[in-house]
A and B are shown apart, each in its own frame.
Chain A
Amino acid sequence: MRQMIQFRSKRAKAARPERRDPAPSRLSYKLNRMMLRPWVRRFLRHGLPVLIVVSGVVFWASDQGRRDDAMDRLAEVRRQIEERPEFMVRLMSVEDATPSVASDIREVLSIDFPVSSFDLDLSGLQEAVETLDAVAEASVRIRSGGVLEIEVEERVPSVIWRDEDALVLLDMTGHPVATLEARTTRSDLPLIAGVGADIAVAEALELFEAAEPIRDRLRGFLRVSERRWDVVLDRDQRIMLPEGAAITALEKVMALDRAQNLLERDLSVVDFRNPGRPVLRLGQGAVDLLFDTGFQSE
């Protein structure tokens, strides 16, 4: 009987296991309420992952060796990518430049090919090319096929400036283009001289235009006191032009020359510095002749 009872109670226990208390424990209740706080949920959603990642990174980076190692590896990967054949530049082509300018450019840039296109500072190259006197404007780009292409617009020399010790070619703006060995190599260009002549190149060119009728007698233009021009002709003749309206004055002289062959005569200076009162200075021969022909008798 006792066995029976034991058996039955055991079976009853097995059939109906101990019911769990449905009530939450004090701790779980408090945790649950804490989780319902808005800031706690925000923190768990965003703050905690960020904190974990950041702290992990900070812990990892706190060791100098690991940091250097990573930097080295990074640099290595970077170098490998840069040195891929797709990014290598092997040639340089200089376009629209005379051979001497082209060789100058190659000398200035002095790049050892092949080089990675990542290592080329194109704007720096452009500036370097533009420092050359002969180059007005340059555009530098890397063409497909690993070619560094430099397009150059050269300065056009328009006058020759006789400086104290050298002959310099200037362009229209007065910028030096190149030095010149001898005047005769560029006899088509006008010659200017004097301090500050390079600043007034434009005016000199206009004067050169206006002096068309006497082109064969023209020796050059002399800048005087950095303010006005003298036109120097052969036979030591000289036309002194005013500071302002020099072109008009020169045209007047040309007109006089056309009408009365002014410059054919034995004059040393046509002084037009004051356009209202031009002055002629006679040459030595003319003066002697004047004395001989009885200038005194009048």
Chain B
Amino acid sequence: MRMLNDLYQSQRSMRAMRQAAIQRGVVAILDVGTSKIACLILKFDGRERVTSGEGIGAMAGQTKFRVIGAATTRSRGIELGETCAVQETERAIRTAVQAAQKMANCRVDHVIACLSGGQPRSYGLAGQVNIAGDVVTETDIAHALAACDVPDYGADREILHAQPVNFALDHRSGLIDPRDQIGQRLACDLHMLTVDTPVIENLIYCLRRCDLELAGLALSSYVSGIAALVEDEQELGAACVDMGGGTAGLSIFMKRHMIYADTVRLGGVHVTQDISKGLQIGVAAAERLKTFHGGVVATGMDDREMIEIGGETGDWEHDRRTVSRAELIGIMRPRVEEILEEVRERLDAAGFEHLPSQQIVLTGGASQIPGLDTLAPKILGQQVRIGRPLRVHGLPQAATGTSFASAVGLSLFAAHPQDEFWDFEMPADLGAPRSLRRAMKWFKSNW
């Protein structure tokens, strides 16, 4: 019942704020990652840009908005997707937001953010009720959702998502929308996701220091999945692996709902650190080597391709070293393999092999490593592809790569959020004790 008491109001107010922001027409998207912070500014002008016609299906809200500002900056003070230096993070957010505002030439007050750290943990909950009337009403759904018994998820954890993923009415399961259907017994499955409270609090604090109101919060691997998975994959079941800088988030989709999410706390930054340590160079130089010459599959050609390491230590000998590309690959590959194996373990733990479809989509910045598409099938299975995010209106070419999957997904999430637990009216009989208690408190404090 704790979930009802605390989270309900804050999430509902956040949802109301999102509605208000969309009403005003401008909302910012902030992807606070370990290696970069991306800020998109969306303009909702209530205009559908794609007319419905032959061969054009229903749009999931991605035609309602237009990206009018986009900016990326190197992120600071964030490790493993979690803020470890608040002021540094705040500066980085300020840089990104100001640049995006400059491009959009308008001011944003509301921001929808995603976070990749915080050790998300998935819970599958189930609840069932006898419905009051003949047909299922929204109140019945709310009752069924409230009937889910919430496990003890720890003191400093916060619920980030609580989405009803499946409804069953009597013996019929797999209902998407049970409203107005005739039956007696309504059961529901709820997917609940919790993250560490301090991570969220730090992020909110940073945003407040930047004069921004938080209008929505989502897990980055979830929104990457929205952007990178195609409709069929979401429907039939697929896993999206968002290989970011500090973490590799994975989310499993089934019937258009996220049913599981987890993160591996390893990412591109670790690869860079390995190169830095292995070649005795600075992190910036290592990052440069990785992006320009990196790879995971070595060929005979790579033995002969010598790379200048460079450096500015002042030691001539040290700065003039060269390394073959094969050596660089030899440093990078074990770490990438480790990440993928870790992902495989998590997928196995989640029971991914029981899904009808075994599609795995790799996205995120680290999925750009050349050769990953040959390495990944050896570890994750045959159905692996690199997924670029959906194209949305006005997105600059520079922001269409895989590393912007979560930013694009977050804008889709902003335009068309999934029903969550708090979108349903709280049952009155469950809300009553709290208000009664509040009345008592007021009485005591005033008399």
6 A–B contacts from the bound complex (CB under 8 Å) = A11-B314, A12-B314, A23-B92, A24-B94, A24-B98, A36-B101
Given A8-B314, A12-B314, answer yes or no on A23-B107 (Cβ-Cβ < 8 Å). no
In A64-89, the 8 Å CB interface with B consists of: none
Q: Which of A27-46 contact B (CB under 8 A)?
A: 29-30, 32-33, 36-37
Shortest CB distance B124–A (Å): 42
> Would A33 and B91 be within 8 Å (CB), given that A8-B314, A12-B314 are in contact?
no
In the complex, chain B residues 89-116 whose Cβ is within 8 Å of any chain A Cβ: 91-92, 94-95, 97-98, 101-102, 105-107
Chain B: minimal CB distance from A26 (Å)? 8
Task: Please give me the residue from chain A that is nearest to B104 by CB atom.
Answer: A36
Chain A contributes a number of interface residues (CB within 8 A of B) equal to 15
Ordered nearest first, which 7 A-B pairs have the shortest CB separation? A23-B91, A36-B107, A23-B95, A29-B94, A24-B98, A33-B107, A8-B314
Nearest A-chain residue to B73, judged by Cβ: A22
The answer, among A16, A22, A23, A30, for a CB contact under 8 Å with B312, is A16
Is the pair B101, A32 in contact by a Cβ cutoff of 8 Å? yes
Contacting B107 at CB < 8 Å: which of A11, A21, A22, A37? A37
Q: Which residues of A contact B73 (CB under 8 A)?
A: 22
Distance between B348 CB and nearest chain A CB, rounded to angstroms:
42
A36 x B211 contact (CB < 8 A): no
Q: Mark A73-110, 1 if CB is under 8 A from B, else 0.
A: 00000000000000000000000000000000000000
Does chain A have a CB within 8 A of B210? Answer: yes
CA distance A37 to B26 in the complex (A): 13
Known contacts A16-B312, A30-B211, A36-B101: A24-B107 contact under CB 8 Å: no
Minimum CB–CB distance from A124 to chain B (whole Å) comes to 62
Whether the Cβ atoms of B101 and A23 lie closer than 8 Å is no
Q: Which residue of B lies closest to A22 (CB)?
A: B95
Inter-chain CA distance A8–B316, complex, in Å, is: 12
Q: A8-B314, A22-B95, A32-B101 are in contact. List 17 more A-B contacts (CB 8 A).
A: A11-B314, A12-B312, A16-B312, A21-B91, A23-B92, A24-B94, A26-B94, A29-B94, A29-B98, A29-B210, A30-B211, A32-B102, A33-B101, A33-B107, A33-B211, A36-B107, A37-B107
A12, A22, A33 — most chain B CB neighbours (10 Å): A33
Q: Mark A159-190, 1 if CB is under 8 A from B, else 0.
A: 00000000000000000000000000000000
Number of contacts between A and B (CB, 8 Å)?
Answer: 35
Q: Which residues of A contact B210 (CB under 8 A)?
A: 29
Most A C-beta atoms less than 10 A away, residue of B73, B98, B210, B312:
B98
Tell me the minimal C-beta distance from B250 to chain A in angstroms.
32
Distance of A37 Cα from B92 Cα, bound (Å): 22
Interface size class of B (residues with CB under 8 A): 10 to 19
Closest to A40 in B: B107
CB of A3 to closest CB in B, whole Å:
15
Q: How far is the CB of B87 from chain A (nearest CB, A)?
A: 10
A49–B176 alpha-carbon span in the complex (Å): 61
Q: Interface digits, B301-334 against A, CB 8 Å rule (1 contact, 0 not)?
A: 0000000000010100000000000000000000
Q: In the complex, what distance in Å separates the CA atom of A26 from the CA atom of B95?
A: 10
CA distance A8 to B102 in the complex (A): 41
Q: Once bound together, how far apart are the Cα atoms of A30 and B212, in whole Å?
A: 11
Q: Which residues of A contact B (CB under 8 A)?
A: 8, 11-12, 16, 21-24, 26, 29-30, 32-33, 36-37
Give the interface of B toward A (CB within 8 A). Answer: 73, 91-92, 94-95, 97-98, 101-102, 105-107, 209-211, 312, 314
Q: Which residues of A contact B97 (CB under 8 A)?
A: 29
The complex places the Cα of A199 from the Cα of B97 at a distance, in Å, of: 95
Q: Which residues of A contact B94 (CB under 8 A)?
A: 23-24, 26, 29
Q: Point out the residues of chain A lying under 8 angstroms from B98, CB to CB.
A: 24, 29, 32-33
Cβ–Cβ < 8 Å partners of A29 in chain B: 94, 97-98, 210-211
Q: Write the nearest CB–CB distance from A8 to chain B, whole angstroms.
A: 6
Nearest residue (CB) in A for B209 is: A26
Q: State the Cβ distance, A36 to closest chain B Cβ, in Å.
A: 4
- The smallest C-beta distance from A39 to any residue of chain B, in angstroms, reads 11
Interchain nearest-CB distance for A41 vs B (Å): 10
Contact partners of A37 in chain B: CB under 8 A: 107
Q: Are A36 and B106 in contact (CB under 8 A)?
A: yes
In the complex, A15 Cα to B131 Cα: how many Å?
76
Smallest Cβ-Cβ distance to A8: which chain B residue? B314
How far does the alpha carbon of A181 sit from the alpha carbon of B105 in the complex, in Å? 95
Which chain B residues lie closer than 8 Å to A33 at the CB level? 98, 101, 107, 211
Query: Most B CB atoms within 10 A — which of A11, A30, A36?
Result: A36
Contact of B95 among A11, A16, A24 (CB under 8 A): A24
Q: Collect the chain A residues with CB atoms within 8 Å of residue B106's CB.
A: 36
Smallest Cβ distance from B26 to chain A, in angstroms?
11
Report the minimum CB–CB distance from B72 to chain A (whole Å). 12
CB distance from A162 to the nearest CB of B (A): 95
- B314 A36 Cβ-Cβ under 8 A: no
Q: How far is the CA of A183 from the CA of B1 in the complex (A)?
A: 129
Give Cα A24–Cα B73 distance, bound, in whole angstroms: 12
Write out the residue numbers on chain A whose beta carbons fall within 8 Å of the beta carbon of B211.
29-30, 33
- Chain B residues whose C-beta falls within 8 Å of the C-beta of A16 in the assembled complex: 312
CB nearest neighbor in B for A12: B314
Residues of B within 8 A of A23 (CB): 91-92, 94-95
